[in-house]
Amino acid sequence: MGSLLDIRINKPRLALIDFEGTLFDTRAAVLHAMTRTLQHVGGFNPQSIIKETVWHYVYGTDDIGEAFSRLLNTTGEPATAPHVPQEVWVAAYNAIYAAEALPLIEPYPGAKQLLEALRRERIPVVIFGSNKQQATIRDVLKGCDGMAEELLTGGQLPLMIMADTPLRKVAVKPDPASYKDYGLDFFAEYPGLAGASHVLVVGDTEADILYAKEIGAEACWVKHGYGNEAECLALAPHMVVENFGELEKKISNRNC
């Protein structure tokens, strides 16, 4: 099946690809890390509530600390640590996610082939990870066969992972601040890309499409992720694809 929207976009000079729900299916990892964090920090495991809250976090644009706050306010049972600061929940979650949950993350079919196509076409890649640690995303890429940075860059093309570091937190989509802040660093390091007007944002949710609009980019919505179809289509992305195989063919044929 072809694109649902017959809108041609320019061949991108830069591809900004969402990590969670677009390149990788992280649902099992998020559920595991949140459950273990509740057990470790809060002392309880409200199984009837956590799945609903996890999906709200995955589908939405709230940060993980707010997700824990909402969960603790809706458990219906007393928490043993109701006044723990958000940063404590977040730190514990990130540590457990990195230590235990990475093997649960799976790339979506065709992800490797898409990245290879971008390399062949010499299109630089930015991987965006809202609420994810840069080091964690790097470990996931290295742990997946053939999806390490070397594959993407080929020693020539730049790759940037736009995600949290111990010293810097990335604004959550659709806030455009992340692109403005990190973009300055990226273009300063690779001046040949400065002023690139053809940026393609590839994502799976409404936040990704709105983010593309906020930064003046073109949006490709991939249907295999976490987004609500009716809501995503209502935002009129420039391109809609069923899967990465369809997008890879468009890039390889220079027929975006």
User: What per-residue confidence (pLDDT) applies to 103?
Assistant: 92
Instruction: pLDDT band for 112, please (50, 70, 90 cuts).
Output: confident
Distance of CA 53 to the CA centre of its chain: 18
User: What per-residue confidence (pLDDT) applies to 202?
Assistant: 96
- With b for 16 or more beta-carbon neighbours within 10 A and e for fewer, the 70-105 pattern comes to bbbeebeeebeeeeeeeeebbebbbebbbeebbebb
Radius of gyration of the chain (CA): 18
What percent of the chain is modeled with pLDDT above 90?
Answer: 25
- pTM for this predicted structure: 0.83
Interval 22-61: pLDDT, tens: 999 998 898 888 888 888 887 776 565 667 666 666 665 4
Residue 105 has pLDDT above 90, yes or no: yes
Overall CATH class of domain 14-25+106-252: alpha beta
Interval 65-102: pLDDT, tens: 777 777 776 655 444 555 778 888 888 998 999 899 99
Amino acid identity, residue 54? Answer: V
* Mean pLDDT across 122-133: 84
The angle at the Cα of 70, spanning 66 to 73, to the nearest 5 degrees, equals 140
Structural contact between residues 17 and 225, judged by C-beta atoms closer than 8 angstroms: no
The sign of the torsion formed by the CA atoms of 50, 51, 56, 61 equals positive
Dist CA 113 CA 252 (whole Å): 10
